[in-house]
Structure 1
Amino acid sequence: MPSNTNEQQPSAPLSAENRFRQAFERLKFGDTVVLKSGTPVTQNNVAREAGCDPSALKKSRFPALIREIQAYIELHPNNDEPLNQSARKKLSANRSAKERLKDAILQRDHAQSALTSANMRIIELTEEVQSLQRRLDDVIPPPKRV
């Protein structure tokens, strides 16, 4: 019978500290249940992985666990951060390139519009010159060539 009571104990509710510790272990090994796999180990992520609000994992309540998490973070710096920074720089560079392209397209469209307007004005003025030349020819005939 004692073995039956031992088997029932794992199904008993875990203490908050045990939930946080299990979440911490899952994060360290990348076997997360709540968060995406590969999520970095942080105090807030340990609480989230345990299914709690990040404010639930307080230093005043769990000082030893918090020290373990902080020690782990110091010993295992997150190498993804520089990649995230470079990715952000590339994204902002791409964004500025996209903005520059958009500006160039607007400038091109404006220039095409101005060119089309200028061509229309040239055609109008050419027709006006021809009309005036005909009227002038009617009043003063052009000299005849011999």
Structure 2
Amino acid sequence: MPVKKSAGRAEVMFREAFNRLKMHKPDRLPKGSPVSQNNVAKEAGVDPSALRSARYPELSAEIKRWVREHPQEGPPSIHKTTLSKRAATRKLRERIEALTLQRDKAAARLVNAEAEIVQLMNRVASLEAKLPQSNKVSKLSQP
């Protein structure tokens, strides 16, 4: 918005702070700070009580109008970002635990299967040894 020529130095400072907050590029406040009359004053480097509606009615109305028109605009807050990252990490940890449990169960089944194969091979060998020599299958020679 163009600044009026009769605007004082303080109002110019407030408008610049307001524009920085609208563009999500504050100098003094943390990134992601919402636009509000108090935050505009803080971004301008003054006490929030310095930006009064009675003293700067047009600017105050512009800020209120912008806040009404852009209720959810802006990057997510640091707190919300942290919470979403924690939730994602928690999901990944749970998935890792589930996969580890699945792997351990599969490994246990494999060990049991290998042990059973060894037992069955030993049993086959012992049964073959008990067979009479004449019942054993002999290989045929090729012509």
TM-score, length of structure 2 as denominator length: 0.50
TM-score, length of structure 1 as denominator length: 0.49
